[in-house]
Amino acid sequence: MTNQTVEKEVINMFSRFKKSPTNSEELFAPVNGDVVEITEVPDVVFSQKMMGDGFGIIPKDGRVLSPVEGKIVQIFPTKHALGIETKSGLELLIHIGLETVTLKGEGYDVIVSEGQSVKVGDPLVNVDLQLLEEHSLEIITPVVITNFADKVKRLHVTTEGTVSAGQAIAIVELN
């Protein structure tokens, strides 16, 4: 283990004990996988933050859980993406894979419905990642705050590397 790796682990361990700002919201990992910066998502709409800021996760399995407490405000007809609004008014987009609209919903089993309230860790969607890969589609899952400019002072992704679904991953400081 390198000194840099040990240092990151120590910082990550102690960051769990820090209090988040009172005017903030915590985001949790919606899938098991590897966290990447939004700028590393191989789609300019996400990497250039055209839809807002956030992060990406390369999923290890196809179970997608709610990263926040809120309400399902949109499920795309092609089932590849959904929107959640939190109690504080953050609007999150979970986009499961890239260019997956071409599948027209095939491989996606949406468990929730529009208007439904969800808690952190509630199942949202099951996706057949193998099907996506068979169609040469990216499985990376961007999670974007679409009203970032209006609602957010700062996004701090607190966790790097491999995460488990439901694990705290970021703190959003609200305006």
Q: Are 126 and 84 in contact (CB under 8 A)?
A: no
Q: Are 120 and 28 in contact (CB under 8 A)?
A: yes
135: annotated active-site residue: no
In angstroms, the CA 25 to CA 8 distance is 23
Coil, helix or strand at residue 130 = helix
Catalytic one among 80, 95, 135, 156? 95
Give the catalytic positions in this structure.
95
